[in-house]
Structure 1
Amino acid sequence: MPSFRQVGEKQLPNPVLCMAWSPKRDLIALANTAGELLLHRLANFQRVWSLPPNENTGKEITALAWRPDGKILAFSLGDTKLVVLCDAEKADILHLFPVENPVSCMHWMEVLEESSVLSSFYSSEDESNLFLPKLPTLPKSEEKSDEILNLLGEVRLNILVLGGGSCLLELYAYGMYKIATLPEVRIHPHYHNHPVPGTCRSLCLSSDLKSLSIITEIRSSDNDPEIRYIQLDTGLLSDCLPEVTRMARKFTHISTLLQYLRLSLTCMCEAWEDILMQMDLRLTKFVQEKNTNTQVQDEFLELLLWGQSSPELQALLMNQLTVKGLKKLGQSIETSYSSIQKLVISHLQSGSEALLYHLSEVKGMSLWKQKFHPLGLDSVAIEDAITAVGSFTLKANELLQVIDKSMKNFKAFFRWLYVAMLRMSEDHVPPELNKMTQKDIAFVADFLSEHFSENEELFDRKGKYFNVERVGQYLKDEDEDLVSPPNTKGNQWLKFLQERFWDEFSPLLFPSYPQKSLHFVKRMMEGVIELCLQKPAEVIGKSVKRSVSLSLYIVPERYNDKKANLHYVVFCMPEVSPCKLYLLRRSTEPNRPVSNVLTAIDLSNVLCQSIDDTTAGSSSDRVYSCQDARFYDNETLTVVLQASEEEENRGRVLAQLPLSSALSCKEEFNWDSSLRLDQQSGSIPSQGLVLENQWRDLENMKAQFVAVNGIRKVACVLSSNLRHVRVFEMDVEDEEDEERPESQNAGSDQDGLEETLGSQEEAEGGQTEGAEASGPGKETRTAKRAAP
């Protein structure tokens, strides 16, 4: 009986480039060559949703990673150099940010360290809810209304690590805030003064934040690509973990609030576009089709003062605008203005207050030099950010005043014109509309002077004399000054500030920028906050030091293609020893020595004869090499094996390799750092490994890649043509498969392994990180293992 139960199989229309199992649910994400991101469920490999390529983002997906809570899926786009955070529930793009170079691999890990300081912070992190009102939900028309607030996720620190070309290495706390930008790593020991071009193939940040391990491919013009293992010391993150968590959480709040303000402005622009559509279709058309030489403004003033209109004006009002159309237009404009006004009050002002609160707390952190100065918090830059947020708040209040005045003028104008048109049609005029005060007449006159003008500076579009720029000019994403800035003549406060220059000396006075739009001030605020966020990333990045650099092997030219595969830290060298896997062990503390640093696993006779004699002479008699490998859990490696001589329908095997024999090896390997690993492979201690029934023939399938989830106990196998997938449940319960021989459970092996790992952990006193690799040059993937 096969050891693993197949639960799904499917032929896909497009080749798959990346696979990643969700850490919390029975979901697997697939990225294909068409630029689609697919989410499938374990049961019958059923598709949950698909996210098609987007012209605004890109269509060349190069890497995938799940947030540890399984609610957010990150993927990178090589053609546009973007990293996108996607909601796993609705396939909505929640957040994206650019990177300098295309991302080739990513790893999203969660910090597992516990301390009393962190525990108190986790319990008190939501103190801001005691002082700040809950941010209101964006309008229903905005699909990302609630999801944007879910970007924060859990309080416990998680870090998204990105690796790519030109030694791109960046760390993003909570997947949003860039907490470290690592300078270009000097990988090769012989090139201390000259950077060596290279690409990250795989990476893994340890859960205690003490080290970052990467596999890189270094290319030079005259040599074959060289594969190197590098361990970076990230001790500052580990030593200042409570401070890093506090700072990262605050900056993530700030990043989320900036995204919230952007979406709020988008909703305001949509409401304003509705006004333009309603007004331009009627009033602007009315103005353009006027054939007399008299100005439209004069004709309306004549109607206002004398109650008489020209036949042409009367015909245009009654035939084109109509009484019913005017009433509907007025209601539409009033509704749109009210929507913009509500968005400013409930969204922009609430978001700005929250930004000021969190930035003020960050400023307090920056003044605590003993704790936060090593992380690069700059109090001056934070003060500039607070000032920029204050200016944005002032501009939002200015927009409110403009809206209030415009609404009064609009209401008065449409009420007067409605009554005038009723009189033209000799209809009954309601008594409550028949009275008009001197203030109402002034409002109508203001409306006519502001919106019907032949001043070229007020042209909204070519050939149109109708100007609606009083509110819309604040929502235009342009650098030009406001066409109609607010009238500040006679404002004693502004005059006082201009004469005394108090705004240059007092941090309590924010500059107002009366000539600029709301979008301009918003972009300026984002730029200042971005500068505030960059300083810690640079300081933390410069603290990272290279502690270990080991040359593994050279990739022969015939293996040098995009389909080659290398995994951290288990790898194979097919040119030297195709039937062996190599397990490299390093401590997360870069300076702590580790026994059995390198061990080879011999796959020559990895499959023994089954208890059933009918299988003798079949798969167990062939010699196998490794195609792909993933850490299934702390003690087991899931591999795809290929027979040396494949039969027509057989020859590929899915197997579980227990690592107990390799970890219990007593023979030490003396590494000569002056030589590459493949040049000294003969002295590497080798351990034989024999499986009983922890394997399965993959018939009628040229399996090449595998993705696993040890928590969910599932595996997904992908064929070499990248179109054929099979899904397996790896650990089937006894009651579900009662006929399986007891030998397949391999319980004794697990017990022996736990005992071995326990003794090694006690002897070495440290956590161990690892990874896998098979076949040179294949796409890099990340995996992590830690001793219990």
Structure 2
Amino acid sequence: MPAFRQVGEKQLPNPVLCMAWSPKRDLIALANTAGELLLHRLASFQRVWSLPPTERTGKEITALAWRPDGKTLAFSLGDTKQIVLCGVEKAEILHVFPVQSAVTCMHWMEVVDESSSLSSFYSSEDESKLFLPKIPTLPKSYSTTSKIFSEEKSDEILNLLGDARLNVLVLGGDSGFVELYAYGMYKIAAVDGVTGTCRNLCLSSDLRSLSVIAEVRSADNNPEICYIQLDTGLLSDCLPEVTRMALKFTFISTLLQYLHLSLTCMCEAWEDILMQMDLRLTKFVQEKNTSTQVQDEFLELLLWGQSSPELQALLMNQLTVKGLKKLGQSIESSYSSIQKLVISHLQSGSEALLYHLSEVRGMSLWRQKFEPLGLDSAAIEGAITAVGSFSLKANELLQVIDKSMKNFKAFFRWLYVAMLRMCDEHVPPELNKMTQKDIAFVADFLSEHFSENEELFDRKGKYFNVERVGQYLKDEDEDLMSPPNTKGNQWLKFLEESSHLKESPLLFPSYPQKSLHFVKRMMEGVIQHCLQKPAEVIGKSVKQAAFVPLYTVPESSENTPRLFELPSLWNDKKAKMHNVVFCMPEVSPSKFYLLRKETHSNSQTPLSVVSFNLTHQLEDPEDDNAADQPGYVYSCLDARFYDDDILTVVLQACEEQSGWRGLAQLPLSSSLSCGTDFSWQPDIRLDQQSSTIPCQTLFPGTQWRELENMKAQFVAVNGIRKVACVLSSNVRHIRVFEMDVEDEEDEGLESLNASADQDGLEPSGPRRGPAEENPETDGESKGGRGGALQKTEEHLESEEALKVP
């Protein structure tokens, strides 16, 4: 006979805010009030890892959801209004993006394509692999790089996308905030028209409709719980086009993140040069008491081979021969790092961006298919132009780096020889020769880097322009202080003189006065505008198909954690129905209600509502003496769909019956068709017409067990993995169960089954009501693995204080 077997129990140090089972593995994710994301394994509820809060993200977790393949977790942060995608294998933050409103609930589902129109598309390989080289991994030595782009064995973008099959992350928040993200990254719809605060939501697997549970203010300013169905038919009707567009735009979003991190690495490499040069030369300028400029001091040494006492003191005491050699090597290494990042990362990322944007432009020209989704070919043309300008600016930076490296090498080589002569040391013959070109390089270096430009004097405490590469990496709106000299450039001269090519859309503008950071920000703005337009168009197509006010929020529940509170939503893929489970304790405490609505919003099938009576639930209907036994009245504390036909509920007996609490499986298959008889009146709240709702009585049989020594309140289940997790009302005490356990399949259970009571497995015969249980044996008979696990909460708490770091 199937039963529930307790496999773990734990008293957690911090209250739990939300919990969710993995759709693929025996893992459960928990978020607590300390801002931690915890992953536990089913076996003995062992912790796999914990992700502590960071300054970069935040610590107020408000909701979480699993990607359908079980490889990525999404969680929202209320204090920073961000969504974080976290890798499950190594607890790595893969992607972070901001949202406009604090998120209160989320749902991540995979689209089911029944027409098989996408089967060939899903099975085909990404063609970009045939034309584009694999994007190089970012160097691990820089602190700000994301791990997803620095793993040598990972395919970066595919790790973020997961399976090519379309999946959608739905976010709900305050003030009617509802947004849909393809692959959890690209926003495909920003929905308007929803009122109130979203408490729960569920997108149908066929993309036909989106169900939302919202808390709104009624005319008399009382909070009401309402069910809203939104028609998302455009997504369903254009599923192949939406999938192609979303896949391309997700690639583009990921490449933008890659370019941003590459530029961040370049800035960190540049900081090495700044620290090495600024400290020494600035100190020299501050301490020297002569009226001559730094440039004049070095020029005198270059021309006459003589230096002032101040310059000699700087060179011999501050720098030293050994220090100068080390400084030159450090600066050359930083230059090489920046050069490599430009060539390997910025250029390859720009090429990949141009490729994907060009494909999107081709899609936009197929107006019949993609124009209804908001693809604008003019906006995409602008994005392609912006990427081209970024590539030109990166090439310009390469030329500046090349020239600066020549000047730096000549300068350090000359200064090294001069210092050796000051020390009367032997100068190697290969260093002793300086050509006229070398002298010109040194003179260029001195004139460029030690100019008397007043703008450089006090702006950031700098007394000189260290070198020209840094101005390209500054995240500022000012123009370049030393733009490249374009005199004698035959191509630019030809463009200026050509009236046809001067304003030609075929040529990318170069923005010679702007920095690389400025052009990158401009490119990101143009591409984001290009990406947002489809989300606006699709969002405006979403219309409200149904609005059902359910009941008013009882005052007693205002302090209840809303993340767990009923109603709960379930998407029945087979029947194509949205199911809503809720309770109305103010109207009928011993009942819970099931509302069913077809996912196809244009369906003529009426709304289905049925109530379930929880009185006398735990008596055996086949028992002849049932009529002589006292009746029991139960209320439903929490309910979650185990699968399409079974509901897992946490039950509580009335106070007169000692507050008994239990976990039960309720079969709904025979009762789902009864609610169609209900004649719903749209203008009246559902709790005001509850007397006309059809009522059913359910018998769980042996599919229940008592939850002793625990004030159970909430439950999370996964019918695919056949597991359940029960949480106490103080949201710190947890018990984990394996459901539908068969005696003969349970390996190693024979020794424990000598006593059925000892393992918590129920006998196959009729079960007594809770008031008839023997209080002396209760603690050992149904505790899950006997009395060994039946510890007091104080004992468990003291043990966990030693285990939890």
TM-score normalised by L of structure 1:
0.88
Q: Residue in 2 aligned with 1:238?
A: 236
Residue 641 of structure 1 aligns to a residue whose secondary structure is strand
CA offset digits 1:428-462 (Å, max 9, x no partner): 22222121111111111111111123322233765
CA offset digits 1:108-133 (Å, max 9, x no partner): 00011144541222233510000001
From the superposition, tell whether residues 627 and 138 of structure 1 become closer, same or farther in structure 2 (CA, over 3 Å). Answer: same
1:606 is the counterpart of 2:617: yes
- Judge which range, 273-282 or 490-499, deviates more: 490-499
Q: What one-letter code is carried by the residue in structure 1 that aligns with 2:655?
A: E
1:633 to 631, 643, 652: 643
Q: CA deviation at 1:595?
A: 7.2
- In 1, distance between residues paired with 2:440 and 2:362? 51
From the superposition, tell whether residues 596 and 364 of structure 1 become closer, same or farther in structure 2 (CA, over 3 Å). Answer: closer
Q: Is the 8 A contact 2:609 2:676 kept in 1?
A: no
Q: Residue in 2 aligned with 1:175?
A: 184
Q: CA deviation at 1:668?
A: 1.7
- In 2, distance between residues paired with 1:39 and 1:499? 66
- In 2, distance between residues paired with 1:669 and 1:655? 27
Q: Is the 8 A contact 2:5 2:761 kept in 1?
A: no
Residue 273 of structure 2 aligns to a residue whose secondary structure is helix
Q: What one-letter code is carried by the residue in structure 1 that aligns with 2:136?
A: P
Q: Is the 8 A contact 1:108 1:158 kept in 2?
A: yes
Q: Residue in 2 aligned with 1:759?
A: none
- In 2, distance between residues paired with 1:571 and 1:53? 34
- Judge which range, 266-275 or 588-597, deviates more: 588-597
CA offset digits 1:34-75 (Å, max 9, x no partner): 222222222222222222223333222111111111122111
From the superposition, tell whether residues 744 and 497 of structure 1 become closer, same or farther in structure 2 (CA, over 3 Å). Answer: farther
- In 2, distance between residues paired with 1:337 and 1:318? 25
Residue 608 of structure 1 aligns to a residue whose secondary structure is coil
Q: Is the 8 A contact 1:608 1:691 kept in 2?
A: no
Q: Is the 8 A contact 1:297 1:453 kept in 2?
A: yes
CA offset digits 1:377-406 (Å, max 9, x no partner): 100000000001011111111111111110
Q: Is the 8 A contact 2:193 2:544 kept in 1?
A: no
- In 2, distance between residues paired with 1:667 and 1:386? 55
Residue 699 of structure 1 aligns to a residue whose secondary structure is coil
Q: CA deviation at 1:466?
A: 3.3
Q: Residue in 2 aligned with 1:105?
A: 105
Q: CA deviation at 1:562?
A: 4.6
CA offset digits 1:486-518 (Å, max 9, x no partner): 112232322333444656642220111111111
Q: CA deviation at 1:17?
A: 1.0
2:265 to 234, 253, 267: 267
Q: Is the 8 A contact 2:621 2:699 kept in 1?
A: no
From the superposition, tell whether residues 612 and 334 of structure 1 become closer, same or farther in structure 2 (CA, over 3 Å). Answer: farther
Instruction: Say what the alpha-carbon RMSD is for the aligned residues.
Output: 2.6
1:377 to 372, 375, 378: 375
* Seq. identity, %: 79
Q: Is the 8 A contact 1:166 1:184 kept in 2?
A: no
- In 1, distance between residues paired with 2:348 and 2:289? 49
Q: Residue in 2 aligned with 1:76?
A: 76
Q: Is the 8 A contact 1:174 1:252 kept in 2?
A: yes
- In 2, distance between residues paired with 1:78 and 1:631? 28
- In 1, distance between residues paired with 2:51 and 2:300? 59
2:734 to 725, 742, 764: 725
From the superposition, tell whether residues 143 and 370 of structure 1 become closer, same or farther in structure 2 (CA, over 3 Å). Answer: closer
Q: Is the 8 A contact 1:125 1:155 kept in 2?
A: no
Q: Residue in 2 aligned with 1:555?
A: 553
- Judge which range, 724-733 or 659-668, deviates more: 659-668
1:160 to 161, 169, 172: 169
2:584 to 573, 579, 595: 573
CA offset digits 1:292-327 (Å, max 9, x no partner): 333222221222122222333223212221111111
Q: What one-letter code is carried by the residue in structure 2 that aligns with 1:627?
A: L
Q: Residue in 2 aligned with 1:85?
A: 85
Q: Is the 8 A contact 2:25 2:70 kept in 1?
A: yes
1:644 to 634, 646, 654: 654
From the superposition, tell whether residues 482 and 667 of structure 1 become closer, same or farther in structure 2 (CA, over 3 Å). Answer: closer
Q: What one-letter code is carried by the residue in structure 2 that aligns with 1:700?
A: N
- In 2, distance between residues paired with 1:156 and 1:642? 42
- In 2, distance between residues paired with 1:743 and 1:584? 33
Q: Is the 8 A contact 2:2 2:740 kept in 1?
A: no
Unaligned ranges ≥5, structure 1: 186-196, 747-788
From the superposition, tell whether residues 138 and 114 of structure 1 become closer, same or farther in structure 2 (CA, over 3 Å). Answer: farther
Q: Residue in 1 aligned with 2:139?
A: 139
- In 1, distance between residues paired with 2:278 and 2:22? 51
- In 2, distance between residues paired with 1:345 and 1:415? 27
- In 1, distance between residues paired with 2:628 and 2:210? 45
From the superposition, tell whether residues 40 and 501 of structure 1 become closer, same or farther in structure 2 (CA, over 3 Å). Answer: farther
Q: What one-letter code is carried by the residue in structure 2 that aligns with 1:106?
A: M
Q: CA deviation at 1:283?
A: 3.1
Residue 378 of structure 2 aligns to a residue whose secondary structure is helix
- In 1, distance between residues paired with 2:738 and 2:611? 28
Q: Residue in 2 aligned with 1:30?
A: 30
Q: CA deviation at 1:646?
A: 7.0
- In 2, distance between residues paired with 1:672 and 1:596? 10
1:122 is the counterpart of 2:122: yes
Q: CA deviation at 1:715?
A: 1.4
Q: CA deviation at 1:532?
A: 0.6
- In 1, distance between residues paired with 2:461 and 2:389? 36
Q: Residue in 1 aligned with 2:798?
A: none
From the superposition, tell whether residues 299 and 6 of structure 1 become closer, same or farther in structure 2 (CA, over 3 Å). Answer: same
1:597 is the counterpart of 2:598: no
1:290 to 275, 284, 288: 288
Report how many aligned residue pairs link the two structures. Answer: 732
Residue 677 of structure 2 aligns to a residue whose secondary structure is coil
Q: Residue in 2 aligned with 1:756?
A: none
- In 2, distance between residues paired with 1:686 and 1:647? 24
- In 2, distance between residues paired with 1:55 and 1:117? 45
Q: CA deviation at 1:153?
A: 1.6
Q: Residue in 2 aligned with 1:761?
A: none
Q: Is the 8 A contact 1:637 1:658 kept in 2?
A: yes
Q: Residue in 2 aligned with 1:582?
A: 593
Q: CA deviation at 1:666?
A: 8.1
Residue 730 of structure 1 aligns to a residue whose secondary structure is strand
Residue 370 of structure 1 aligns to a residue whose secondary structure is helix
- Judge which range, 427-436 or 731-740, deviates more: 731-740
Q: Residue in 1 aligned with 2:479?
A: 481
From the superposition, tell whether residues 452 and 665 of structure 1 become closer, same or farther in structure 2 (CA, over 3 Å). Answer: same
Q: Residue in 2 aligned with 1:364?
A: 362
1:623 is the counterpart of 2:621: no
From the superposition, tell whether residues 294 and 249 of structure 1 become closer, same or farther in structure 2 (CA, over 3 Å). Answer: same
Q: Residue in 2 aligned with 1:713?
A: 722
Q: How does 1:307-706 map to 2 (within 5 A)?
A: 307-459=305-457, 464-500=462-498, 502=500, 505-563=503-561, 565-566=565-566, 567-568=568-569, 569-594=580-605, 597-608=608-619, 622-645=632-655, 651-663=660-672, 665=674, 668-706=677-715
- In 1, distance between residues paired with 2:676 and 2:326? 88
Residue 680 of structure 2 aligns to a residue whose secondary structure is coil
Q: What one-letter code is carried by the residue in structure 2 that aligns with 1:685?
A: P
- In 1, distance between residues paired with 2:610 and 2:460? 76
Q: Residue in 1 aligned with 2:55?
A: 55
Q: Residue in 2 aligned with 1:774?
A: none
TM-score normalised by L of structure 2:
0.86
CA offset digits 1:605-647 (Å, max 9, x no partner): 222259999x9999x9632111111111222111111111277
CA offset digits 1:317-347 (Å, max 9, x no partner): 1222111111110000000000000000000
Q: Is the 8 A contact 1:57 1:82 kept in 2?
A: yes
Q: What one-letter code is carried by the residue in structure 1 that aligns with 2:198?
A: C
Q: Is the 8 A contact 1:587 1:593 kept in 2?
A: no
From the superposition, tell whether residues 254 and 635 of structure 1 become closer, same or farther in structure 2 (CA, over 3 Å). Answer: same
CA offset digits 1:562-589 (Å, max 9, x no partner): 5352222111111111111211111111
Q: Is the 8 A contact 1:15 1:722 kept in 2?
A: yes
- In 1, distance between residues paired with 2:309 and 2:66? 70
